[in-house]
Amino acid sequence: MNTIDQTVLNTVNGQGPGAQANSAEMRENFMTLLVAQLKNQDPLNPMENAEMTSQLAQINTVSGIEQLNDTMTGINGQIEQGKFMQATALIGKAVLVPGERVLVGEGVPTPFAMEFNRPADSVKVNILDGAGQVVRTLDMGKINAGMHTVEWDGKLTDGSVAPDGAYRFQVEATNADGRNVPSEVFNYAQVFAVSTGHPDGPRLDLGGIFEPVRLEDIRQVV
């Protein structure tokens, strides 16, 4: 392998003295080496045109890769900025996100939702308090596939009003044969703020009770 080929290969692999150079510097170094090689080549065995063309193509490829990387970096930055602007527009709004939380304030609970990929013949929703005890069971009966919003009236099994605080809900769904029907659960929460600096995009701050979520996690905006 001649000097120019080895220099180009080292540059592509991030090795050698030119590894940190930009494309302009690489082209300048390449031409310096090429001229030196032409001046010092064996007159009885001169460099062939095909070999020179191959070496020029290699340095152009390196330059093209660098330009492509710069372009992709710019595009990624624009995408992240677009996501951030979308996220900030949701501040103050209620969103439906994955979760199993229910908040009760002044006797009024927040709604929640469940989604089935196929119909269920029997669906029951258990409301649990902070200690994990079932304080109310909602019999939803038969439910079709799809997303369903649930409105709990805020009352406990004994008919009293549930104390203010955080609760959880669990879904028990079966088909006609008594087999479990899987479901996804969602809770409503308010967006308070947006944070950046995360590797997979901005995070929506839903308050101290709920975990921050990604923009892609939102299923519905109220």
Q: Does one domain contain both 103 and 198?
A: yes
Q: Does one domain contain both 58 and 114?
A: no
80 is in which domain, residue-wise?
Answer: 23-39+48-89
Q: Does one domain contain both 140 and 204?
A: yes
What's the confidence (pLDDT) of residue 9? 47
Q: What is the pLDDT of residues 33-85, one digit of tens each?
A: 767 766 766 565 655 556 656 666 666 676 666 666 666 666 555 556 666 67
* CATH of residue 189: 2.60.40.4070
Q: What is the pLDDT of residues 108-129, one digit of tens each?
A: 999 999 999 999 999 999 999 9
Determine what percent of the chain falls in helix, strand and coil, rounding each to the nearest 5: 30, 30, 35
Q: Does one domain contain both 35 and 139?
A: no
Q: Does one domain contain both 108 and 183?
A: yes
Counting the structural domains of the chain, the total is 2
Q: Does one domain contain both 85 and 97?
A: no
Q: Does one domain contain both 167 and 83?
A: no
Residue at 15 is within a domain:
no
Contact 183, 116 (CB under 8 A): yes
Mean pLDDT score, 131-135: 96
**Whether the predicted pLDDT of 3 surpasses 60:** no
Q: How far is CA 45 from CA 25, 42, 53, 136, 189, in A?
A: 29, 5, 17, 92, 77
Q: Does one domain contain both 75 and 141?
A: no
What b/e sequence results for 193-214 when a residue is b if at least 16 CB atoms lie within 10 Å of its CB, and e otherwise? ebeeeeeeebbbbbeeebebbe
